[in-house]
Structure 1
Amino acid sequence: MVNHSRTSSEPSPTTSMPAVPAAKGGGGGVARTLAQHHQAVVGFLFGFFLILLLYTTVSGQLGSEDATVRAVTTQSTPAVHTDQRDRTASPTSPTTTTATSIPSNATTQGNNLERGNEQNNVEGKKPAGEDRKDNIVDGTGKNNQTGEELGKIIGRSDQPAVNDASDKMEEELIRQDIDKGSTKNETSAKLGAPRKPICDQTDPRYDICEISGDARTMGNKRTVLYVPPVGEVGAGEEWNIRDQSRKYLEYINNVTVRSLNVSQMAPECTSRHGVPAVVFAMNGLTSNPWHDFSDVLIPLFITTRAFEGEVQFLVSDLQPWFLEKYRLILRNLSRYDIVDFNQDGGVRCYPHVIVGLRSHRDLGIDPARAPRNYTMLDFRLYIREVYSLPPPAVDIPFKEATKAAAASGAGGGMATDQRRPRLMLINRGRTRKFVNFPEIAAAVQAAGFEVLPIEPHRDLSIQEFSRTVDSCDVLMGAHGAGLTNFFFLRTNAVMLQVVPWGHMEHPSMAFYGGPAREMRLRDVEYSITAEESTLYDKYGKDHPVISDPASIHKQGWQLGMRYYWLEQDIKLNVTRLAPTLQQVLQMLKG
């Protein structure tokens, strides 16, 4: 019997006979269809596998790129905001500060100022040899370096190279992050809490305004502007302050300090400066040496000494005589040209502006409130250094002369006057003057001093006079501005203050005695009796001016000023003065 069950085109398992073509419309068509289906399935699975493999590879690469971008952003942001010349010095460092004293709320706009114009900024010239280009943010906020250069800076040389498309993507992401970096890192914090007010008017002595960031001055309008970054809280405020250390002194004109808001257009800069500026007044009670130092020079020292000369002064109500008299001090505190603020018609742009002067007390410094804990001793030594006087290690002239004589072996043959302590006797020109000045000078000499009589005047050259004071061991005078020359005395020298009649001990100690002791000078006070005052002869012993000074002071400071400061002169009883002179002599010899 013939088997008809094998209708497939497959060959017999036991023969190699070729397959017999199937009849049209028979079982061969089904087999072909199954084979094609099998191939399609295999192709699909192979394609799916390739897609899965490609997806896994691309995902890993993208993840690596994202991590790289984050690393680049994190590492590159500080480099964008850093200028080697603007790094903050340590509190004890003697290095100068340009943007160093600017608080941390300085904005990118402040960093965009041209740091190359720190010298001769009034003329707008760059200093000689200043030709290097700093790595700072340009005017658009983008970094000037390419993505390749950034890669070298952040140390990506050991990472696998990526294709050009990835390089461009990474560079663009870095640029976008840099564009937003300053706003994101600084402004977001400010949005959460308003910035500290620009002006502080809480101190009973002075008002002070301090701007960090984009500060612009318009001197002939007596105005200082703060241009805040977009989104900063607290914009649109305005203050009017007197820019000196005595806020209630009517002779000082106001300066307006204004923080612009988003709707106000900032004036264009006519000059840019890389150092801070201080706006302050020179008028008021100046022309009296005590007020010159107490109201301007000591507050200016407190406010600006930490800048180490890297600060510019914009002076309102400028006094030419003040500039000439104290030019060495002013030039040492600032290396830059002084600007007549009232006459300045330009718009000066600074990274940091202070308006006003800090002051702690009359002719005094509170170390706890002063930068670097400055003291009155620091100020005296600073003044002596400015005027090229001997350093602190040099003893008072009397002892130096004694040492020199002993070293030379000529002690026995030296003239007596050469080994006497030298006493400068200051006589005032108008009020509280010594009416028996020659008699006092003779008494001083008789007590064993070499006497140097002086009647200072305002036009006296400080540079020359400071050397004369330095040559003395004692400075003697009635309570008043002449004693301000004690800044030029050496450590352990003596200030002998003659205290006028009328309960004047307290102001004498507060204005001169206390500061002298803080500066390591020895303070001796001689309080006169009523009979040694010319008020005694003028009003008599029964007048309240003589018999009851407290009742005069209770009626107001104006009355006390009239009698005891302005009307009174002094006729010293030289016999009564003699023991005090001997006390001073023994102090110097001890």
Structure 2
Amino acid sequence: MAANSFSAPAQAVKGAAKTLAHRRQAVVGFLFALIVILVLHTTVVFGPSRPANDIVVLQSTSGEQNARASSPPALLAPNNSIQDNGQKDDVAKNDRETRGQLGQTGKNDASDDKTQEELIRQELDRDVKRGRVHAGAPRKPICDLSDPRYDICEITGDARAIGANRTVLYVPPADERGTDGPEWAIKDQSRKQLGDIKEVNVKTLSAAQSLVAPECTSRHTVPAVVFAMNGIIGNPWHDLSDLLIPLFITTRAYDGEVQFLVTELQPWFVDKYRLVLTNLSRYDIIDFNKDAGVRCYPHIIVGLRSHGDLDIDPARTPRNYTLLDFRLYVRDVFLLPSDDRGIPYKEASKKNAAGNDNGTAVTENPKPRLLLINRGESRKFVNLPEVSAAVEAAGFELLVMEPSRDMGMEEFARAVDSCDVLMGVHGAALTNFFFLRTNAVLLQVVGLGLEREALHYYGNQATAVMVQHIQYFISAEESTLYEKYGKDHPAVSDPDSVHKQGWQGAKRYFWAEQDIRLNVTRFAPTLHQLIRTLQE
């Protein structure tokens, strides 16, 4: 009985102790859980302790690895500037979010680099959408395709020419690089409408592409011009109108301090016009199609500027060059006498007059000299001996020449310069009037259907360079078209109607099939007028 009375209080004490122990464990567990929750909350909100420039370091490291492999050090600076446009709070918020995400990625080492790159890309995408990434000043297009005659590209800065794949690259400054780069396909000839001209690719590199741009194999301090030496060259008119005059317009202002990168290089053209080409550029001509390196220049022009058919518009040239400037330029290049000496006939007459005044013996009165161009194929004089006799009978000293593509230009230029008159049927050889002296005469025999063309392609230009222009319009009977087709054929009776049918018909009749049987009696008054003009 007594034992039972003592055991009851002992059991009560033990039960109270157990209850207190459970409550203490519960309190400790609650406090531990609270601490864990607070730590987790702090980590989520404020993120782990990481350097503020984590993203910049990652970007720089990735860029430097690519750049060390293929790009010059000057091109490595990343564009990390951010415009302050009232979005600083967003910047800080996004930076915290990104740093928190980057901190969590450390748990998976296998995918760490990939995940970080994806997060950086997402962050940059958000920056672009919100206008926070600085893209530099607006860049005007480096290529202009608006002219109906030609395309032109002009690059100033880091320009790299790769001949093997007909490509010219522009590596923009770091603060001007965009997310993409425009690209153009350029016909580097002055007549872009020609169908057989291969294109040169011109591309502005994007920010990513700039970091892996091909390294320079050679560096140059002068500009370069990329142009095609093909098209429809092969006769003097197209040689000058399509190539030499556009090259003069585009490069003369450089005074020889420019290099030519030539696509479709034609050795015969280089040989024929070497004096002009080596004067416009003091540097080796590069066969761009075969050039395997990466040439780097401070300035590259792709294409040639052209102002019209055998023409120059001074308002569109760097130093207001005119067509007369071009004529005087080629005379200097070919070492012809000073243009202010006057035409040879007057120069000889003055010498004779001076000899008479001094009482010294003089030769017989000089005759004006006429160079007669005889074409070898179409639009030739079929009665050349009769024409030659008529010219000499009128009082001229006659020189007959038939130019060819292989004829040396120096010799031919001196021959033209020595004459007072250049005479021929409308055709490419008349382009040699550029070698005449001021106030000499271009005498153009105009075939059927060629009246407008005679003025447009030669007459206006001759006048512009201070060469006198006289035209002799043949009659229908003087054209071999009259003999072949009769007087009632449209090509004879109504040439305009043939022109209206298109170029092919006009070319066939008036350029390809027509020769000239000059009526020397009808032509004689023109020769007499020519003598009087030279004596004035």
Shorter-normalised TM range: 0.7 to 0.9
Q: 1:540 to 1:491 in 2, by over 3 A?
A: same
Q: Which moved more, 1:294-303 or 1:448-457?
A: 448-457
The answer to whether the 8 Å contact 2:355/2:361 transfers is: no
Instruction: State which of 223, 239, 260 in structure 1 corresponds to 2:167.
Output: 223
Structure 2: which amino acid aligns with 1:317? Answer: E
State whether structure 2 residue 444 is matched by structure 1 residue 497: yes
The answer to whether the 8 Å contact 2:235/2:429 transfers is: no
Distance 1:411 1:556 in 2: 65
What do the CA deviations read for 1:262-308 (whole angstroms, capped 9, x no partner)? Answer: 11121000000000000000111011111000000000000000000
Distance 2:317 2:377 in 1: 36
1:68 match: none
Distance 2:240 2:404 in 1: 16
The answer to whether the 8 Å contact 2:373/2:400 transfers is: yes
State whether structure 2 residue 483 is matched by structure 1 residue 542: no
Instruction: State which of 241, 244, 252 in structure 1 corresponds to 2:189.
Output: 244
Post-superposition shift, 1:248?
0.9
| 1:297-316 superposed matches below 5 A | 297-316=244-263
Post-superposition shift, 1:414?
4.0
1:429 match: 376
Post-superposition shift, 1:413?
5.7
Structure 1: which amino acid aligns with 2:490? Answer: P
Distance 1:239 1:192 in 2: 22
1:100 match: none
State whether structure 2 residue 422 is matched by structure 1 residue 475: yes
Instruction: State which of 399, 414, 424 in structure 2 corresponds to 1:452.
Output: 399
Instruction: State which of 249, 252, 264 in structure 2 corresponds to 1:317.
Output: 264
Post-superposition shift, 1:251?
2.2
| 1:142-541 superposed matches below 5 A | 191=135, 193-232=137-176, 236-264=181-209, 265-409=212-356, 414-416=362-364, 419-502=366-449, 504-541=450-487
1:77 match: none
Structure 2: which amino acid aligns with 1:267? Answer: P
Distance 2:451 2:393 in 1: 27
Distance 1:247 1:233 in 2: 30
The answer to whether the 8 Å contact 2:241/2:310 transfers is: yes
Distance 2:222 2:350 in 1: 48
CA RMSD of aligned residues (A): 2.0
> What percent identity do the matched residue pairs reach?
65
The answer to whether the 8 Å contact 2:369/2:399 transfers is: yes
Post-superposition shift, 1:517?
0.4
Distance 1:246 1:445 in 2: 42
Match of 1:206, SS? coil
Match of 1:469, SS? helix
Q: 1:355 to 1:481 in 2, by over 3 A?
A: same
Structure 1: which amino acid aligns with 2:461? Answer: P
Structure 1 unaligned residues grouped into runs of 5+ = 1-113, 115-136, 142-189
Q: Which moved more, 1:402-411 or 1:242-251?
A: 402-411
Match of 2:194, SS? coil
Q: 1:353 to 1:411 in 2, by over 3 A?
A: farther
Structure 1: which amino acid aligns with 2:426? Answer: H
Distance 2:312 2:297 in 1: 28
1:187 match: none
Q: 1:461 to 1:223 in 2, by over 3 A?
A: same
What do the CA deviations read for 1:43-70 (whole angstroms, capped 9, x no partner)? Answer: xxxxxxxxxxxxxxxxxxxxxxxxxxxx
| 1:100-179 superposed matches below 5 A | none
Match of 2:175, SS? coil
Distance 1:463 1:453 in 2: 17
Distance 1:357 1:280 in 2: 7
Post-superposition shift, 1:231?
3.0
Distance 1:138 1:397 in 2: 61
Q: 1:480 to 1:231 in 2, by over 3 A?
A: same
Q: Point out the structure with the larger helix share.
A: 2
Q: 1:449 to 1:360 in 2, by over 3 A?
A: same
* TM-score (normalised: structure 2): 0.73
Runs of 4 or more, structure 1, over 6 Å off, are 137-141
Structure 1: which amino acid aligns with 2:535? Answer: K
The answer to whether the 8 Å contact 1:194/1:233 transfers is: no
What do the CA deviations read for 1:554-583 (whole angstroms, capped 9, x no partner)? Answer: 111111011000110001111111111111
Distance 2:490 2:456 in 1: 25
Post-superposition shift, 1:138?
8.7
Structure 2: which amino acid aligns with 1:456? Answer: P
What do the CA deviations read for 1:99-137 (whole angstroms, capped 9, x no partner)? Answer: xxxxxxxxxxxxxxx9xxxxxxxxxxxxxxxxxxxxxx9
Structure 1: which amino acid aligns with 2:259? Answer: Q
Distance 2:196 2:379 in 1: 26
The answer to whether the 8 Å contact 1:195/1:233 transfers is: no
The answer to whether the 8 Å contact 1:224/1:257 transfers is: yes
Match of 1:517, SS? helix
Match of 2:154, SS? strand
1:586 match: 532
Distance 1:233 1:584 in 2: 65
Distance 1:445 1:415 in 2: 19
Match of 1:255, SS? strand
The answer to whether the 8 Å contact 1:243/1:255 transfers is: yes
The answer to whether the 8 Å contact 1:251/1:283 transfers is: no
What do the CA deviations read for 1:501-555 (whole angstroms, capped 9, x no partner)? Answer: 12x1111111100110000000000111110000000000111111111111111
What do the CA deviations read for 1:161-214 (whole angstroms, capped 9, x no partner)? Answer: xxxxxxxxxxxxxxxxxxxxxxxxxxxxx9564211011000000000000000
Distance 2:75 2:152 in 1: 31
2:500 match: 554
Distance 1:193 1:511 in 2: 45
What do the CA deviations read for 1:200-257 (whole angstroms, capped 9, x no partner)? Answer: 0000000000000000000010000000112316650000011010001112110000
Post-superposition shift, 1:392?
2.2
What do the CA deviations read for 1:360-385 (whole angstroms, capped 9, x no partner)? Answer: 00000011111211111000000000
Distance 1:411 1:222 in 2: 70
Match of 2:240, SS? helix
1:160 match: none
Structure 2: which amino acid aligns with 1:548? Answer: D
The answer to whether the 8 Å contact 2:440/2:467 transfers is: yes
User: How many residues are treated as equivalent by the alignment?
Assistant: 406
State whether structure 2 residue 506 is matched by structure 1 residue 572: no
